[in-house]
Amino acid sequence: MSRPRVVVLGAGVAGHTSASFLKRWLGDQAEVIVVSPRPDYNWIPSNIWVGVGLLKPSQVLFPLSPIYEREGITFHQARATVLHPEGHGEDLKPFLEAESTLEGHEGEALKVPYDFLVNATGPKLAFEATPGLGPKGHSLSVCTAPHAEEASRALDEAVERMKRGERQRFLVGTGHGTCTCQGAAFEYIVNLEFELRARGAGQG
Ligand SMILES: Cc1cc2nc3c(=O)[nH]c(=O)nc-3n(C[C@H](O)[C@H](O)[C@H](O)COP(=O)(O)OP(=O)(O)OC[C@H]3O[C@@H](n4cnc5c(N)ncnc54)[C@H](O)[C@@H]3O)c2cc1C
């Protein structure tokens, strides 16, 4: 008899923790499969340190493949696009469709059958809910490691301007009212104030 297949969508704090514990608890009794589009795990809370240049992106990211290989978890670097919990057409067993994000295989279609599904794809960054917000608009972000790195570069430029005597005004906040990362914004404000003082650019 084939082993039950447990598919975990997403390798953030929820998905990665679920997959690791499922494998530890179920061992060889089940196949644990992770489907997630990024090759790395990002410890998101520490992005606030990347955003002021005190940590590098490589210090908040680590590659998932070697860990899953060691743990005996199958990893598909792919983005789930459609769930078929009751199968589809002739195929009456649950499966999902995904598209590969693996370098050199981008867009290739995957069909992943499952018996149990953990959906841990996390929140959607909804910059578009606030016109003009976000890295593609007129603000910076620390929501992902690359965003935070960009914010850090912008801070370096602002500090240079301040040192040349230009007055800079920083507005730190969150977007749409339903977003729940006010804690991160508060932490970033504290980091920013500390860092401006440390670089001799703040006025206190
Ligand atoms: C800067 C910042 C600081 C924070 N600090 C704190 C803190 O100090 N304490 C705290 O409790 N919380 C904090 N948070 C909130 C916390 O980071 C989130 O609540 C947490 O990351 C949510 O985890 P998650 O696994 O549900 O989602 P995520 O971490 O967003 O993970 C989602 C995963 O799903 C993947 N995925 C997305 N779409 C698909 C798809 N279609 N198919 C497959 N996979 C997909 C993603 O690539 C990712 O791997 C902070 C957030 C930010 C932005």
Task: Report the run of H or E that residue 180 belongs to, with start and end.
Answer: none
Task: Name the residue ranges covered by the structural domains of the chain.
Answer: 5-119, 127-198
Which pLDDT score, from 0 to 100, does residue 180 have? 79
Q: What is the pLDDT of residues 45-96, one digit of tens each?
A: 999 999 999 999 999 999 999 999 999 999 999 999 999 999 999 989 999 9
3-state helix, strand, coil in the chain (%, to 5): 35, 20, 40
Ligand 1 neighbours by CB, cut-off 6 Å: 9-15, 35-38, 44-45, 47-48, 79-80, 120-123, 142-143, 181, 183-184
Residue of minimum CA distance from atom 33 in ligand 1: 10
Tell me the pLDDT tens digit for each residue of 11-50: 999 999 999 999 999 999 999 999 999 999 999 999 999 9
**Counting beta carbons within 10 angstroms of the beta carbon of residue 74, is it exposed (0 to 12), middle (13 to 18) or buried (19 or more)?**
middle
Q: How far is the CA of 48 from the centre of ligand 1 (A)?
A: 14
| Mean model confidence pLDDT for the chain | 94
pLDDT tens-place string over residues 179-204: 778 899 999 999 999 999 999 986 64
Which 8-state DSSP code applies to residue 91?
B
CA-closest residue to ligand 1 atom 23? 13
Q: How confident is the model at residue 176 (pLDDT cuts 50, 70, 90)?
A: confident
CATH annotation of 5-119: 3.50.50.60
Q: Which of 96, 114, 101, 88 is nearest to 36 (CA)?
A: 101
Q: Per-residue pLDDT for 110 more than 60?
A: yes
* pLDDT score of 203: 60
Q: Which residue in 166, 130, 134, 169 sits closest to 151, CA to CA?
A: 134
The answer to whether the Cα torsion of 101, 102, 103, 104 is positive or negative is: negative
Per-residue pLDDT, averaged over 99-111, amounts to 97
pLDDT score recorded for residue 204? 46
- Given a contact cutoff of 8 angstroms between Cβ atoms, the answer to whether 19 and 34 are in contact is yes
Q: End-to-end CA distance of the chain: give it in Å, rounded.
A: 68
Has this prediction a pTM greater than 0.85?
yes
